[in-house]
């Protein structure tokens, strides 16, 4: 029997965008009958309660506002598919037969451990902005979408686990460069800022959680390796509480250096990518918002020079 696909789709205040995405699922799928969409809509977002799409099985959850991790977890718990695909309502599937391609990847791994991800036409191969996992992988990870992630960085979290697994000797990542699920985000110049974007803020929170869950991801990668090798799974630690990043630039950047740039359990390209992203976001939050300061203007002018060493290193696997 062909594997089934569960799309996890939290949405808020964007019924038109959600229905645009759902239409793209119907139009671009080889067999929409093997796809279910688990849609999470907030209780107070009554305009979105009527979202529908002919030709798709939609399991609609109407509940309280949750973190992004909580939303995806709630959808996962109500899903039934063999393949789990968390997506955003500001995405559109562009490639015909995308579901067939994902199923082909799924069937390559008899133990079910893999991270597949399509091309979002922005981050490309460097980041799994749409992480596609098997249900068995989700079960091994226990908390594939930790509730502590209020907004962004779930994609970084999952990819980091698989980068660590790679360094343990198991290459289980598959970038589907010719399968396009385009992310039409306003920061990419592909849409206008709306109320949902504004509520999330210019830089979605998640940095602190990502840094704080570093040990948890290390142990998660060991669990995946044990599953691949058919050994008993080691116990995962409890999810730690979120702590703030240091207020001092020196201590913050030094922390990112030790926690990522010097972490030999990660490939060099991923280490430098995480260090550059975290450092840049830290300084942006501090100096750009709510009003750009002279420090921000200086950093912006120096950005091409500051980034080019990292960009060179990131070309290597």
Mean pLDDT of the chain: 92
pLDDT computed for residue 130 by the predictor: 95
Q: How far apart are CA 266 and CA 272, in angstroms?
A: 10
SS (H, E, C) the chain: CCCCEEEEEEECCCHHHHHHHHHHHHHHCCCHHHEEEEEEEECCCHHHCCCCCCCCEEEEEEECCCCHHHHHHHHHHHCCCCEEEECCCCEEECCCCHHHHHHHHHHHCCCCCCEEEEECCCCHHHCCCCCEEEHHHHHHHCCCCCCCCCCCCHHHHHHHHHHHHHHCCCCCEEEEEEEEEEECCHHHCCCCCCHHHHHHCCCCCCHHHHHHCHHHHHHHHHHHHHHHCCCCCCCCCCCCCCCCCCCCHHHHHHHHHHHHHCCCCCCHHHHHHHHHHHHHHHHHHHHCCCCCCHHHHHHHHHHHHHHHHHHHHCCCC
How many percent of the chain have pLDDT more than 70? 96
- Mean per-residue pLDDT, 142-168: 96
**Structural domains of the chain sorted by starting position, each given as residue range(s) with its CATH number in brackets:** 5-200 (3.90.550.10), 245-317 (no CATH)
Residue 304 pLDDT > 90: no
Residue 47 pLDDT > 70: yes
pLDDT band at 264 (very low <50, low <70, confident <90, very high): very high
What pLDDT digit, counting tens, does each position of 219-261 carry? 999 999 999 999 999 999 999 988 899 999 999 999 999 999 9
How many percent of the chain have pLDDT more than 90? 79
Higher pLDDT, 217 or 198: 217
What pLDDT digit, counting tens, does each position of 136-145 carry? 999 999 999 9
Residue 164 pLDDT > 90: yes
Question: Does the reported pTM lie above 0.75?
Answer: yes
pLDDT computed for residue 294 by the predictor: 87
What pLDDT digit, counting tens, does each position of 111-129 carry? 999 999 999 999 999 999 9
- Mean per-residue pLDDT, 2-31: 96
Least confident stretch, 115-129, 134-148, 173-187, 191-205? 191-205
pLDDT computed for residue 317 by the predictor: 59
pLDDT band at 17 (very low <50, low <70, confident <90, very high): very high
- End-to-end CA, the chain: 36
Residue 72 pLDDT > 80: yes
pLDDT band at 306 (very low <50, low <70, confident <90, very high): confident
pLDDT computed for residue 197 by the predictor: 65
Residue 186 pLDDT > 80: no
pLDDT band at 313 (very low <50, low <70, confident <90, very high): confident
């Amino acid at each position: 029997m062909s594997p089934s696909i569960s799309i996890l789709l939290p949405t808020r205040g964007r019924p038109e965008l959600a229905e645009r995405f759902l239409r793209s699922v119907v139009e671009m799928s080889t067999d929409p009958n093997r796809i279910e969409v688990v849609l999470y809509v907030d209780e107070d977002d009554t305009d979105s309660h009527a979202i529908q799409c002919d030709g798709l099985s939609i399991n609609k959850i109407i509940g309280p506002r949750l973190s992004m991790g909580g939303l995806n977890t709630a959808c996962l718990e109500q899903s039934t598919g063999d393949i789990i695909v968390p997506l955003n309502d500001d995405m559109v599937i562009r490639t015909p037969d995308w579901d067939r391609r994902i199923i082909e990847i799924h069937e390559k791994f008899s133990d079910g451990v893999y991270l597949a991800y399509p091309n979002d036409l922005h981050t490309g191969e460097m980041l799994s902005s749409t992480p596609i996992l098997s249900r068995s992988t989700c079960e091994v990870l226990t908390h594939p979408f930790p509730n502590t992630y209020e907004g962004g960085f779930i994609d970084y979290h999952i990819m980091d686990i698989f980068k660590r697994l790679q360094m343990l000797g198991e290459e289980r990542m598959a970038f589907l460069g010719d399968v396009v699920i385009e992310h039409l985000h306003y920061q990419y110049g592909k849409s206008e800022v709306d109320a949902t974007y504004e509520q999330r803020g210019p830089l979605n929170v998640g940095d602190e959680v990502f840094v704080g869950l570093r040990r948890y991801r290390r142990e998660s990668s060991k669990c995946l390796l044990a599953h691949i090798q058919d050994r008993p799974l080691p116990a995962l630690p409890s999810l730690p509480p979120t702590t703030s990043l240091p207020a001092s630039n020196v201590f913050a950047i030094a922390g990112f250096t030790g926690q990522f740039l010097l972490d030999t359990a990660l490939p060099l390209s991923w280490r430098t990518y995480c260090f550059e992203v975290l450092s840049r976001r830290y300084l942006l939050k501090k100096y750009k918002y709510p009003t750009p300061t002279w420090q921000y203007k200086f950093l912006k002018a120096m950005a091409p020079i500051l980034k080019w060493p990292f960009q060179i290193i990131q070309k290597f696997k």
